Amino acid sequence: MEAAQETFMDQEESDGSDKPSGSPYNSPFRSTRLHIQRSNVCSRAYFVVVMVFFHVYILNVIALLLYVHYNNGPGDLVSGDGASAASVGERSSRLPHPAPAPRELHVEDYSQSFSLPRIEGIRVGHIQQVSIVPDKTHEMKTLSLKPLLFEIPGFLSEEECRVVVQLAQLKGLMESQTPAQSHGQEESNQPLLSLSTEEVFSLLDLNQDGLLQKQEIVSHSHSRDGTWLSPDNLRQILTGLEDHATGMLNLEDFRYVYDVSQRPGQQRSGKLLSHFRQRSKHTWLYQGLGSHHVLQTLRNRVISLTRLPSALVQLSEPLQVIRFEHGDFSNAHHDSSPSHSETICAHTRIAGNTSTLSEVSCRYLTVSFYLSSAEEGGETTFPVADNRTYEEQALVQDGVDLTDTQETCGRGNLRIKPTAGTALLWYNHLSDGRGWMGELDEYSLHGDCPVGRGVKWVANSWVNVDPDYQIQARYQRLVVQRHQAKSAMEDHYQPLSHSNLHQDL
């Protein structure tokens, strides 16, 4: 019986393979499976739905790629003007055309991510063609690599130099600083009271435990009692305290730190402490909307030359114009300051920590314009340019201080003679390797040699950048909000507005 049943099943399987799908000999299970495939999977309606969803998905992917391409993102390190950092590095022989004319501030200018591109120096003496104004090329020569320094002859025309000088004279010039005092006299930024080291330590040691802590130094800075400690003294003491392994200073440790901070030309932790001296007259010229078109043109050229986002340049300091007469000078100094946990950038103070020790200048780069040619002297000197190493001890040799341009200007490594219309560009900071501003480039130490004959006119354009990217972005958002509020107010009271009657030079 069982043998007959197996024979019948084998015959049924063999017969089923040769019969059409509609044969009654097909098993119910197989018939049901084929019916499901025809009615659902292979139906035309289901196929249409799948294809529609597939095309929608493809269109979304294409739209996303176009959005990323035409909008700046932090991952791409794109500048505010749409030039990526990668493309900047590729076109080292030619700069982009000038930026468009100044316009009102818009949110999109400050809400996008941006990087800080740098021009490649290649080598000392290298010349690259740059396009700064339409239908004209300039030659930009690399003068040094430490710091990264360039010279651009003919950056300004003779007429433009004359206009800037006239605007400065109309605005009025003020003394940059009182004439340098003779040796042995008290410097203007020294404490007004004479106290011993032990007395200073006792005054700072608020809890009188014999140990000086960071909170005690910061507490003194907030008391605004500046009659016996200058800001330089405070910063130097704080630096010495942070360098100490215990984070505190006893009297013996404090004596060394404080005594060093009192001696001009000495150093601590690689930071120059020479007291800056200069003799000249200067003024500031506004370059925003409503200013003279030559001043706006200069700002646009700085944007084109530096390749930086226009937002950074527009929100930086006004143009400083300086007049050096016979015997006027400025000692070697850094335009910017090293970053410090207890300092804040002056230009972003509204967006930073207001309880910091002091405000400092944060200037990513300097663009200096010669507005006249001095007949004799007046060179810009970079005492340690392209030195193999930077050691502040080497700045003082046999009693000669290389930062003292009055005495040792001729001994600097690099001196540039002022020529009307020529521009200098140098970076005050290194790159942090991620597209933002890094440490202070100590090789950017520079000064102005005394003018021997004639008059030297020079203008400085600084681009302010906070080393903290988040603070810089927050600051720019605050500026946009204030600008929008001001614009709304002016539009509301337009009939009563007299803002067009006078514009600052």
Residue 239 belongs to domain with CATH number: 1.10.238
Q: What is the pTM of this model?
A: 0.65
Contact 375, 437 (CB under 8 A): no
Q: Are residues 219 and 356 in the same domain?
A: no
Q: Is the same domain home to 317 and 460?
A: yes
Q: What would the mean pLDDT of 11-27 be, rounded to a whole number? A: 48
Backbone angles phi, psi at 400, to 5 degrees: -105, 125
Is the pLDDT at 25 greater than 60? The verdict is no
Judge whether 321 lies within some domain. yes
Same domain, 287 and 217: no
- Distance separating alpha carbons of residues 216 and 213, to the nearest angstrom: 5
The pLDDT tens digits for 144-197 are 999 999 999 999 999 999 999 999 999 999 998 544 433 333 333 444 345 778
Report the chain's C-alpha Rg in angstroms: 34
337 and 282: one domain? Answer: yes
Q: How does pLDDT run across 193-210, given as a tens digit for each residue?
A: 457 788 788 888 888 888
Same domain, 261 and 287: no
On the question of a cis peptide bond just before residue 96, with omega within 30 degrees of 0, the verdict is no
Q: Name the residue range of residue 63's domain.
A: 38-70
Domain membership flag for residue 22: no
Q: Specify if 344 maps to a domain.
A: yes
Distances (CA, A) of 231 to 177, 181, 222, 239, 403: 17, 20, 11, 12, 21
User: Is residue 421 included in any domain, yes or no?
Assistant: yes
Residue 297, in any domain of the structure: yes
Instruction: Look at residue 493 and tell me if it is in a domain.
Output: no
Quick one: 318 and 432 in the same domain? yes
Burial class, 197, CB count within 10 angstroms (exposed 0-12 / middle 13-18 / buried 19+): middle
Distances (CA, A) of 76 to 68, 84, 86, 433: 9, 7, 9, 14
Using the structure block, give the residue that is written with the tokens 């040796």.
Answer: 183
Contacts for 412 with CB less than 8 Å, ≥ 6 apart: 332, 381, 382, 383, 385, 402
How many CB atoms sit inside 10 A of residue 132's CB?
Answer: 22
pLDDT of residue 445: 95
Domain count, the chain: 3
Domain check: are 121 and 266 in the same one?
A: no
**Distance in angstroms (rounded) separating the CA atoms of residues 421 and 485:** 40
For residues 338-348, one letter each, b for 16 or more C-beta atoms within 10 angstroms of the residue's C-beta and e for the rest, the string is bbbebbbbbbb
The verdict on 312 and 391 lying in the same domain is yes
Task: Kindly state whether residue 310 falls inside one of the protein's structural domains.
Answer: yes
Residue 78 forms part of a structural domain: no
Of 421, 151, 149, 102, nearest in space to 290 by CA: 102
Asked if the model's pLDDT at residue 128 lies above 90, the reply is yes
Q: How many residues does the chain have?
A: 505
279 close to 327: Cβ distance less than 8 angstroms: yes
Distance, in Å, from the CA atom of 85 to the CA atom of 114, rounded to the nearest integer, reads 9
Range in 21-30, 206-215, 276-285, 361-370 with the lowest mean pLDDT: 21-30
